[in-house]
Amino acid sequence: MSAKGGIAMPCTFSILSEDNPGVLMRIAGLIYRRGYNIESLSVAHTVIPGISRFTVVIEGEDAVYEQIRKQLEKLIEVVSVTNLTKQGPFVERWLMLVKVKAPLDKRPHILQTAEIFRCRVVDLGTDAITLEVTGDKGKLGACVEALRPYGIIETAGSGQVALSRAGFVQVQ
């Protein structure tokens, strides 16, 4: 259920905005004032100097998303807002670092599990391995569950990044 009591459906917005101090607070504040929680937020520079892309995932009622999109577009620094969920197919990725206990006798099993999920080893110590895993949210969750029996020390994750699909039209 959403904050407003309806059926909650996640929605991914792609927002292009000028790189100005405070724009993050204005975007987050607008969504907060509507009574919705931001599930994921990622920001990075684009290939256009002075422009950043915000990927924002919120969970709420479908009927409110268009209103939120229109209000976001009214912010002075915002160049464009796209509701990727409504627009059609899009590519999404999440990133997670997972530090796992890795005594020598368990390492081959941990590395085998990591290979199944196409993880990269990004740090190796005497007692632990840190893995990088990317993919959709489901893949990251499954990877964590597969590594849990070995002893997860800590995790850190990014928010979702997403772009609309380019190229091929889906045949129905």
- Residue 122 CB partners (closer than 8 Å, separation 6+): 97, 130, 131, 132
Per residue in 10-67, pLDDT tens? 899 999 999 999 999 999 999 988 888 899 999 999 999 999 999 999 987 777 888 8
CB 161 within 8 A of CB 92: yes
For 9-88, the fitting CATH number among 3.40.50.300, 3.40.50.970, 3.30.70.260, 3.40.50.10470 is 3.30.70.260
Domain boundaries, the chain: 9-88, 91-163
Per residue in 53-107, pLDDT tens? 999 999 877 778 888 999 999 999 999 999 999 888 889 999 999 999 999 999 9
Cα–Cα dist 153/172, whole Å: 45
CATH superfamily of 91-163: ACT-like. Chain A, domain 2 (3.30.70.1150)
pTM: 0.80
Same fold, 9-88 and 91-163: yes
Cα–Cα dist 43/27, whole Å: 12
pLDDT band at residue 6 using 50, 70 and 90 as cut-offs? low
Q: Where are the alpha helices (DSSP H) in the chain?
A: 23-33, 62-73, 84-87, 107-116, 137-147
Angle 13-139-158 from CA coordinates, rounded to 5°: 50
Between the CA of residue 76 and those of 16, 20, 54, 83, 172, what are the distances in Å? 12, 10, 15, 19, 40
